[in-house]
Structure 1
């Protein structure tokens, strides 16, 4: 209930302030485990990616955000779970894997941190780890635009990333992440080409 209310409020704010637009929602499977992997620009990214789709998103957030007596429980109900940044947080890895086993949707930002430029940086191995530890469909996403009042921001969802060959070849987590990042960049290039 709180999640749906949060979605509604975020849609209003994002639509009115940032003229938010979403394209490619049809690529997200209606059921089964899904990993959405996106470039990362702002703290507004999770609400943008989650507010306009039917399926609830689960996502990692730095553990410091959960120390507040009111904010921690709130973001937990909005789909967040804590991660210790800069470490191989086994608890967060187990939690993410369980989310996918429960056939939920896990949102990841493989770059790890918000990009200070418009470039899409290399991704960390975590995204590949979750892809290999599950049968999840991996959906690339690309966020275009800057979060400035009355300037449009658009989230694009692309077709699923083909992973069968890499899974069969027992590729490393980093190799799978690199493959996913290639598809995010391909989606960006398609978007930029179509908007010229």
Structure 2
């Protein structure tokens, strides 16, 4: 089955569910995402207690596949405002969904002058409103399964709004049809289901201590632990 068709079916199912519960779309949408990812994967969450019950925070994570945001959104006990690439945000299949969950699109200034500033302004508004903002500081899907250097946009956000930062790590999605493991992601259909996937959250790094380098190191360390669970025989 064509990958875009599969995404379209998922989008339609989500749309039907959200429309049915239109009075509380965000609440029921998160419930649907939680069910969906548990159907797709054998999941292990650790450290969700580190997500604050209230107040602003950032969550930073390595970026493995196009379903990372689904797993993150389903695994977080609070709604997340995702900072994401504008071309993905503008997808004809899923733009309505990204708008519903309050995703924040960002594009390079070379492609859209002033867009980065507007995106940072929206991140600031979200944080000052007490929301949790989620971003993938590598800025792109990993091309080889490894965690790559975090980009300076993270520093810009923390300079404007010093908030606690929760490091997180995903493991188990490298090799899936939504990753770049076998060529361009989404270029072929899925060949396996119920893969073991781990999402580990670390302790919050408080404002003043949070630097791009420290957070990258902590995400790498968490990923080692998540990898160990994914590849264990338990």
User: Does the pair score TM above 0.5?
Assistant: yes
Contact 2:169 2:201 in 1 (8 A): yes
Query: Counterpart of 1:164?
Result: 208
Query: Counterpart of 2:118?
Result: 91
Query: Counterpart of 1:45?
Result: 68
TM-score, length-normalised on structure 2?
Answer: 0.72
Is 1:26 the counterpart of 2:49? The answer is yes
Contact 1:23 1:157 in 2 (8 A): yes
SS of the aligned residue for 1:20 comes to: strand
CA 1:165 to 1:34, structure 2 compared with 1: closer, same or farther past 3 Å? closer
* Structure of higher CA gyration radius: 2
Contact 1:39 1:143 in 2 (8 A): yes
TM-score, length-normalised on structure 1?
Answer: 0.84
- Structure 1 residue aligned with 2:149, among 122, 129, 140? 122
Structure 1: 5+ residue stretches without partners: 167-175
Mapped partners of 2:104, 2:147: distance in 1: 24
Describe the superposition over 1:72-122 as per-residue Cα deviations: whole angstroms up to 9, x where unpaired: 233111231221146571110111111111110000100000102221100
Shift of residue 151 of structure 1? 0.9
CA RMSD of aligned residues (A): 2.3
Q: How many residues align?
A: 187
> Where do 1:97-116 residues align within 5 Å?
97-116=124-143
Contact 1:33 1:135 in 2 (8 A): no
Describe the superposition over 1:9-56 as per-residue Cα deviations: whole angstroms up to 9, x where unpaired: 222221112122211100111111110000001111111111133311
Mapped partners of 1:23, 1:69: distance in 2: 34
Shift of residue 3 of structure 1? 2.1
Structure 2: 5+ residue stretches without partners: 1-23, 177-191
